[in-house]
Amino acid sequence: MSGSTLGKLFCVTVFGESHGPAIGCVVDGCPPGMALAEADIQHDLDRRKPGTSRHVTQRRESDTAEILSGIYEGRTTGTPIALLIRNEDQRSKDYGNIGETFRPGHADYTYTQKYGFRDPRGGGRSSARLTAPIVGAGAIAKKWLREKYGVVIRGYMSALGPIDIPFESWDEIGNNAFFSPNAAIVPELEEYMDALRKSGDSVGAKISVVAENVPPGWGEPLYDKLDADLAHALMGLNAVKGVEIGDGMLAARQKGTEHRDEITPEGFLSNHAGGVLGGISSGQAVIAHIAIKPTSSMRLPGRSIDLNGQPIEVVTHGRHDPCVGIRATPIAEALMAIVLMDHALRHRAQCGDVTPGTPVVPGAAA
């Protein structure tokens, strides 16, 4: 199956299915000598895993990461790092009634058209369960970027359905189930999700992710631009239907005098471009936003067809996230980290000896 590998020098290949024995990934290209243990990976996996609150799927997975290779005496060897996460709480019987039908809004129909048949258990290969190994790989990239360059990557929920979430503080994000940076709005989010869950419906979300202390110069014009690769990776996340860099779609409504990020000897005056100019990092914070659609797995009936093309009414049973965006923040962080590490290595390979002779201009605040 093509399309399972992300990156060129820092490469992540994901394997497994939602209800198979295990999922995992192979990470190739991590430089040797970095201290690495399962504990470095587990923290972010715990942030993503299901069953952490009443607002997400109640599938119970420990998501315990096992490092199978690429480590000797606690340090990376430069060889491929294999990560394994065993599936522990599959309930395949919940999907017994959809093997002959297509859930509207899901990949059931397109997978069947492409491959001739599909694994219906939990969505098989198309399941968001496959984001767990990506989070593990991203934790490796985060650690290397932080230690090598001081890069810090953080994300948060910036909207839940119709509710915009004003940013207040990074310190609040770990204190609630929504990755909300605003404590005051959490009761409203909880009330909204409780009502939504009772109705049987689902809703989308917007996630914002920020990388600070990214050096200038990362990115490969023309067709491997840093923002293009970020959009490519983030669009690969399940249920993402839109990616914005910096001001994104708002740029269409702005004037040039408003959008351009003016520069003074003291630094950039703004960051509408999201830290990327001409496909190359500017030294400002790299900022991306993703729009996640509402899940189509719900108990409310929907019209579809069966394998013979006959009309049918579909009701999806089992355990599902009424808003998949609630657990998406660590995944978005991981994907940004993987792309940034790949470009850091590519920049080092070609331009590691370059001395531009121009001072680095401080970036505007994220």
Number of other CB atoms surrounding residue 47 within 10 Å:
19
Q: Which whole-number Å values give the CA distances from 193 to 86, 199, 203, in the listed order?
A: 30, 10, 9
Quick one: tokens of 199?
A: 């109705």
Distances (CA, A) of 72 to 65, 67, 68: 17, 11, 11
Confidence at residue 61, expressed as pLDDT on a 0 to 100 scale: 74
Instruction: Give the pLDDT confidence score for residue 106 in this predicted structure.
Output: 87
Give the pLDDT band (50/70/90) at residue 190. Answer: very high
Residue 246: which residues within 8 A CB-CB, separation 6 or more?
A: 271, 272, 273, 274, 275, 276, 287
Q: Is the pLDDT of residue 315 over 90?
A: no
For residue range 61-108, list pLDDT tens digits in order. Answer: 789 999 999 999 999 999 999 999 999 865 545 555 677 888 898 889
Q: How many Cα atoms occupy the beta-carbon half-sphere of 268 within 13 Å?
A: 23
pLDDT of residue 327: 93
**Burial (CB count within 10 angstroms: exposed 0-12, middle 13-18, buried 19+), residue 271:** buried
- How far apart are the C-alpha atoms of 47 and 24, rounded to whole Å? 17
What kind of fold does domain 5-351 have according to CATH? Chorismate synthase, AroC fold (3.60.150)
218 dihedral zone (left: phi>0; alpha: psi -120 to 50; beta) = beta
Give which of 366, 321, 234, 340 is closest to 48, Cα–Cα: 321
What is the rounded average pLDDT for all residues in the chain? 92
Cis peptide leading into 222, omega within 30 of 0?
Answer: yes
Sign of the alpha-carbon torsion through 172, 54, 19, 230? negative
- Which of 141 and 104 is assigned the larger pLDDT? 141
Token pair for 362: 């401080």
- Is residue 188 within 8 A of residue 176, CB to CB? The reply is no
Q: How many CA atoms lie within 13 A of 14 on its CB side?
A: 26
pLDDT digits 0-9 by tens, 144-167: 999 999 999 999 999 999 999 999
Reply yes or no on whether the pLDDT at 119 is more than 90.
Answer: no
Q: Is the separation of the CB atoms in 311 and 303 below 8 Å?
A: yes
In this prediction, residue 60 carries a pLDDT of 64
Contact 217, 351 (CB under 8 A): yes
pLDDT tens for residues 246-278? 999 999 999 999 999 999 999 999 999 999 999
Helix orientation angle between 131-149 and 38-48, rounded to the nearest 10 degrees: 130
Q: pTM for the full model? A: 0.94
Number of CB atoms found within 10 A of residue 119's CB = 19
pLDDT tens digits along 169-178? 999 999 999 9
The model's confidence at residue 57, banded by pLDDT at 50, 70 and 90, is: low
